[in-house]
Amino acid sequence: MQIYQPAEDSYLLQETLKQYLKSKSKNIKILDMGSGTGIQAKTARDLGFKDITTIDINPNAIKLLEKEKLNPILSNLFTEFNHFTEFNHNTEFNQQQKFNLITFNAPYLPEDEREPEDTKQNTTAGEKGYEIILDFLEQAKPHLTQDGEILLLISSLSQPNIIEKKARELKYNFKILNQTSLFFEKLFVYKLSNL
Ligand SMILES: C[S@@+](CC[C@H](N)C(=O)[O-])C[C@H]1O[C@@H](n2cnc3c(N)ncnc32)[C@H](O)[C@@H]1O
């Protein structure tokens, strides 16, 4: 499986993350979901943040993230955490699975049968282009500290109105922090937090 190489979406989230982290304590716990090459996690580390975990579903990305010492976990979204939690009733352990910041440059395109299987997981969010993002928002909630925030990158092709509706249902507070227009789509970085 190919590892997603940073592109405009990665750079927009990276720029937003740099700005966002300026006012944050260096002690915050950060999770980079769908970390790929680790561009977002490395950006945080280069700015002095130390408590960084990465997750990806692609075993090749995990190997790379291991080499970079970015604490990778091979997982489909939060599934691995939820396995641990199911069998572990130690409150301290479960507390450790909460993060002050979760970043996710999500796969955000609707399914296209011409897309090779090898790269589909990097770009395709599901049949409609938002499914994985809705799952992420649902699963991320219990892994956010009370003051925790999410930086989520999506596209105009992933139907932002459906994603915003889900965010409202899940009682997230949200706003658009950054955006850019490309040839055939617009990219947005949302900040979401618990109400
Ligand atoms: C658009 S790429 C972003 C990569 C990198 N974060 C960046 O900004 O360049 C999406 C990433 O999400 C990962 N991914 C896709 N589905 C996933 C899932 N269900 N759970 C965890 N990671 C997933 C892909 O393997 C890929 O690395």
The answer to whether the beta carbons of residues 144 and 98 sit under 8 Å apart is yes
192 forms bridges with which residues in the sheet?
A: 150, 174
User: What is the enclosing helix (H) or strand (E) of 120?
Assistant: helix 117-123
C-alpha–C-alpha distance, residues 75 and 69, integer Å: 17
143 CA from centroid of ligand 1 (Å): 18
Q: Report pLDDT digits (tens) over 65-117.
A: 999 999 999 999 999 987 766 666 665 555 568 999 999 999 988 888 888 88
125 CA from centroid of ligand 1 (Å): 10
- Least Cα distance to 59 among 76, 43, 44 occurs for 76
High-pLDDT (> 70) share of the chain, %: 93
Q: Report pLDDT digits (tens) over 134-170.
A: 999 999 999 999 999 999 999 999 999 999 999 999 9
160 CA from centroid of ligand 1 (Å): 19
Which residue has a Cα nearest atom 19 of ligand 1? Answer: 76
- Least Cα distance to 130 among 153, 149, 96 occurs for 153
- Least Cα distance to 143 among 192, 95, 80, 74 occurs for 95
Atom in ligand 1 nearest the alpha carbon of residue 36:
27
The tokens describing 17, both together, are: 């993350």
* Amino acid in position 62: I
The phi, psi pair for 174, rounded to 5°, reads: -145, 155
Residue keyed to tokens 């440059």: 105
- Our measurement of the distance from residue 109's CA atom to the centroid of its chain's CA atoms, rounded to an integer in Å, reads 15
176 forms bridges with which residues in the sheet?
A: 190
| CATH architecture, range 8-19+26-194 | 3-Layer(aba) Sandwich (3.40)
Q: Which residues line ligand 1 (CB under 6 A)?
A: 4, 6, 10, 13, 34-36, 39-40, 55-58, 61, 76-77, 105, 107, 121-122, 132
Domain ranges of the chain: 8-19+26-194
Which residue has a Cα nearest atom 12 of ligand 1? Answer: 34
The tokens describing 95, both together, are: 């507390």
Q: Supply the pTM of this predicted model.
A: 0.94
